[in-house]
């Protein structure tokens, strides 16, 4: 179990194995890092942070309990030092808006988002008991379970891609597996921190909505997790659509069936595999897998997006033919005609891109802005001096 520790200097959350605090550079004390300073803190007037669920590069997630009403939510807090980067703050707010607005039962929804009194950006979301798929993958999964998980993710992607949302970081760590009373897996999708709002799978959106999508995706970095990264993401292409999510799901299905990902090794070897090499056919590592299922996996892992399935629905249809007796699935989400791509983009434009001012991290001095009037006066004085010197030289 993870030790919940924090930095005594900047009071940020830390992984207990860190030698130095990534935020302020403090070295780990001889006796180890102290407990996370957030534990026991009251936020939003009524919620108490009682336990840390996880920590990542952008922040940490805590269990937040209401001692009076007895309720419980999860609270994600952005690292305070990242508040100085407006792009990261927008991406954090985007994750909250998307999960709050998508309305997909398989996606863990946000409830509320904003800024705490100490300047920390937060959002609260549904607290779900479960186990990550990563923790379950100690070897191959039974084929019915692997296909049930895959089909549930595909149904969620069908809705998300239809609304123009691409996850871009699907991986076992971001899938929470719960169980129904009969022990069947129920999938909940987490972490839309790398998501983008663009056209649907295989499409491009034009006009004002396309402008929103471009503003949300122009980042000078390769986004995603290397083991599950589509070739176009590994190349840093800006033309990434829902077929990148289908590739990542293909990598997960391969691992669920074979017990290992298609490409392993160093970072360079894994990326080279995605870009250039054909994976070992999954049926060679799992001889009992039906040929029709193996063909689905192979098509999901095609290098070129146009050679993959065009959308999640096409994969669902092929899986239904390959496994007509597949296990039970939760009821599909009801169609919500009031929550289409345009409505979602308007929410993003209002609450993410429409943010005109972002609160600064307390204690970080901001550079004072000079009044435009002083620039004008300075320019006039400089021109006057230059004119006087020219007159003196040429007279």
The answer to whether the CB of 322 falls within 8 A of the CB of 257 is no
Q: Is 318 an active-site residue?
A: no
Distance, in Å, from the CA atom of 77 to the CA atom of 213, rounded to the nearest integer, reads 25
**Residue 92: exposed, middle, or buried by beta-carbon count in 10 A (0-12, 13-18, 19+)?**
buried
Distance (Å, rounded) from C-alpha 308 to C-alpha 79?
38
**In a 10 Å sphere around its CB, with 0-12 CB exposed, 13-18 middle and 19+ buried, how is residue 42 labelled?**
exposed
Taking the CA atoms of 354, 110, 10 and 220 in sequence, report the sign of the dihedral they define. negative
In degrees, rounded to 5, the angle at the alpha carbon of residue 260 between the alpha carbons of residues 257 and 265 is: 155
C-alpha 168/C-alpha 18 separation (Å) is 27
Closest CA to 249 of 229, 232, 265: 229
Contacts of 255 (CB under 8 A, 6+ apart): 137, 172, 261, 262
Indicate the angle between helix axes 291-300 and 312-322, nearest 10 degrees.
160
Active-site residue, from 169, 245, 311, 349? 169
Beta strands in the chain (DSSP E): 4-6, 13-15, 42-43, 47-55, 59-65, 72-78, 110-115, 121-126, 131-132, 165-166, 175-179, 185-189, 196-197
Torsion, CA 213, CA 317, CA 175, CA 124, rounded to 10: 50
Edge to edge, the sheet with strand 175-179 lists 131-132, 175-179, 185-189
Pairing of strands 175-179, 165-166: unpaired
- DSSP states of 87-151: HHHHHHHHHHHHHHHS--TTBPPEEEEEE-TTS-EEEEEE----EEHHHH-SSPPPHHHHHHHHH
Which residues, in sequence order, are CB contacts of 58 under 8 Å at separation 6+? 78, 79, 82, 88, 92, 193
- Positions annotated as catalytic residues are 169
């Amino acid at each position: 179990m993870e030790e919940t520790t924090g930095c005594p200097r900047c009071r940020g959350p830390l992984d207990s194995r860190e030698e130095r605090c990534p935020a302020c550079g403090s070295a780990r004390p001889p006796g180890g890092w102290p407990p996370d300073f957030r534990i026991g803190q009251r936020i939003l007037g009524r919620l108490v942070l009682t336990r840390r669920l996880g920590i990542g590069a952008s922040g940490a997630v805590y269990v937040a309990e209401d001692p009076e009403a007895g309720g419980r939510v999860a609270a994600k807090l952005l690292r305070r030092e990242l508040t100085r980067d407006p792009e990261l703050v927008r991406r954090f707010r985007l994750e909250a808006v998307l999960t709050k607005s998508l309305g997909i039962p398989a996606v863990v929804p946000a409830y509320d988002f904003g800024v705490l009194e100490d300047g920390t950006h937060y959002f609260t979301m549904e607290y779900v008991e479960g186990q990550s798929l990563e923790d379950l993958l100690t070897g191959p999964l039974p084929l019915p379970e692997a296909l049930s998980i895959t089909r549930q993710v595909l149904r969620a992607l069908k809705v998300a891609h239809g609304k123009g949302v691409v996850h871009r970081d699907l991986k076992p760590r971001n899938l929470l597996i719960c169980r129904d009373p009969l022990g069947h897996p129920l999938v909940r999708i987490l972490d839309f921190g790398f998501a983008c709002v663009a056209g649907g799978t295989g499409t491009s959106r034009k006009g004002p909505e396309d402008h929103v999508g471009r503003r949300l995706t122009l980042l000078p970095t390769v986004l995603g997790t290397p083991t599950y990264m589509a070739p176009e993401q590994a190349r840093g292409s800006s033309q990434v659509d829902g077929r990148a999510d289908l590739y990542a799901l293909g990598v997960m299905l391969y691992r669920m069936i074979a017990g290992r990902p298609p490409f392993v090794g160093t970072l360079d070897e894994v990326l080279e595999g995605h870009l250039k090499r054909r994976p070992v056919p999954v049926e060679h590592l799992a001889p009992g897998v039906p040929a029709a299922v193996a063909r689905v996996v192979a098509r999901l892992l095609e290098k070129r997006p146009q050679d993959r399935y065009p959308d999640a629905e096409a994969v669902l249809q092929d899986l239904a033919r390959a496994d007509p007796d597949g296990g039970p699935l939760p009821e599909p989400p009801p169609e919500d005609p009031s929550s289409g791509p345009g409505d979602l983009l308007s929410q993003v434009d209002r609450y993410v891109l429409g943010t005109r001012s972002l609160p600064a991290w307390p204690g970080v001095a901001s550079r004072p802005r000079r009044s435009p009037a002083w620039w004008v006066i300075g320019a006039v004085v400089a021109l006057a001096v230059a004119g006087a010197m020219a007159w003196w030289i040429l007279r």
